[in-house]
Amino acid sequence: MMKVVFHLDVDEEKRLSMALGNISNLLKVVPAKNAAVSLVANGSAVRLFIRENASDSSSRIEALSGQGVRFFICNNSLTNFKIDPKALVKGCEITKAGILELIERQADGCAYVKP
Amino acid sequence: MMKVVFHLDVDEEKRLSMALGNISNLLKVVPAKNAAVSLVANGSAVRLFIRENASDSSSRIEALSGQGVRFFICNNSLTNFKIDPKALVKGCEITKAGILELIERQADGCAYVKP
Amino acid sequence: MMKVVFHLDVDEEKRLSMALGNISNLLKVVPAKNAAVSLVANGSAVRLFIRENASDSSSRIEALSGQGVRFFICNNSLTNFKIDPKALVKGCEITKAGILELIERQADGCAYVKP
């Protein structure tokens, strides 16, 4: 099983785009059933997942989500930026503390990649 | 035991602030006695830990240090930037080579987080 | 054995320079025979390894390569940027998918460092 967690913490569209491209490329060489791929967004990066901001990315996120990729959005950061979880792109999941999610996934054997 | 090492290598106050916020949030959800949290600063990031530059951060660093968080400053980088270790914020420790510290901590089971 | 993989994904000369400096410093404190050090470049960072762009870095890369450091360049990214692998600095190796290389190396016990 190939296990990896991607980390985004700044509100830069090109980094999200790079991460989504990385994940797509990965799933071309490793079958989705042999891959546990997730992305954790915290800090200002949570803004990238607001549905109305994510015009270009939202369909890519939904498609990857349909292939089993999990998108975790940090609830601490949503609170800081006063973002309603209901405003997020479909397929996103809320995690209480993004950093803890990153730590627990690595402890569980995931590689870490910071685009 | 939750184990993590944070990495800073550029002289950007907002990244230090993000790292300190990450650590504070983490210690709200995991008791300090169950957490081994450290931060390694190398490259130009070592400047952020000079006492007189760190007006806003130094009290946060000292408070976290009091909770058991360890701050490792790369001695190679201090030498490059001609910084006297005595000029650093209280609570900082010197490590011979920051990158080696990062590698050894990960080999010892720490997750890696780059804010 | 000290095992580490460095990751570069943006076309910023100063980050490459920092990574090469990190690696050089590391090999001063750990004998090359006890170290498995590699660097993976993907995204626009692959441009940094074009021979004619890499005037300052190419001799450093070749010297480190001679000490056993491996430089992996992502083939997906070379294709995206229409770069001929023959144009790369001597000592570079091609990897099919840079992200997969990063994941497999971490799964094999390498620490991850993102300069």
Closest CA to C64 of C24, C31, C33, C26: C24
Closest CA to C112 of B64, A112, A73: A112
In this structure, are strands B70-74 and B92-95 parallel, antiparallel, or unpaired? parallel
Asked if pLDDT for residue B46 goes beyond 90, the answer is yes
Q: What residue type is assigned to position C21 of the chain?
A: G
d(CA A94, CA A76): 10
The answer to whether the CB atoms of A3 and C42 lie below 8 A apart is no
Task: For residue A51, name the pLDDT band (cuts at 50, 70, 90).
Answer: very high
Taking any CB pair shorter than 8 Å as contact, residues of chain C touching chain A are 7, 9, 42-43, 76, 96-97, 99-100, 102-104, 106-107, 112, 114
pLDDT in tens, C22-52: 999 999 999 989 999 999 999 999 999 999 8
Asked if pLDDT for residue A54 goes beyond 80, the answer is no
Chains that touch A (3 or more CB pairs under 8 A): B, C
* pTM exceeding 0.90: yes
Chains that touch C (3 or more CB pairs under 8 A): A, B
C60-80 residues labelled b (16+ CB within 10 A) or e (exposed): bbeebbeeebbbbbbbbbbee
- Specify the DSSP element, H or E, that contains B16: helix B13-29
- Phi then psi for residue C41, to 5 deg, are -115, 130
The pLDDT value given to residue C52: 87
Residues of C in contact with B7 (CB under 8 A): 113-114
Task: For residue B52, name the pLDDT band (cuts at 50, 70, 90).
Answer: confident
Residues of A in contact with B109 (CB under 8 A): 107
Asked if pLDDT for residue C55 goes beyond 80, the answer is no
- Specify the DSSP element, H or E, that contains C94: strand C92-95
Asked if pLDDT for residue C54 goes beyond 80, the answer is no
In this structure, how many other beta carbons lie within 10 angstroms of the beta carbon of residue C108? 11
Q: Would you call B5 helix, strand, or coil by DSSP?
A: strand
Asked if pLDDT for residue A53 goes beyond 90, the answer is no
Residues of B in contact with C111 (CB under 8 A): 102-103, 106-107, 112
ipTM: 0.95
pLDDT in tens, A78-110: 999 999 999 999 999 999 999 999 999 999 999
pLDDT in tens, B11-26: 999 999 999 999 999 9
Residues of C in contact with A109 (CB under 8 A): 107
The answer to whether the CB atoms of B9 and C18 lie below 8 A apart is yes
The answer to whether the CB atoms of B107 and C112 lie below 8 A apart is no
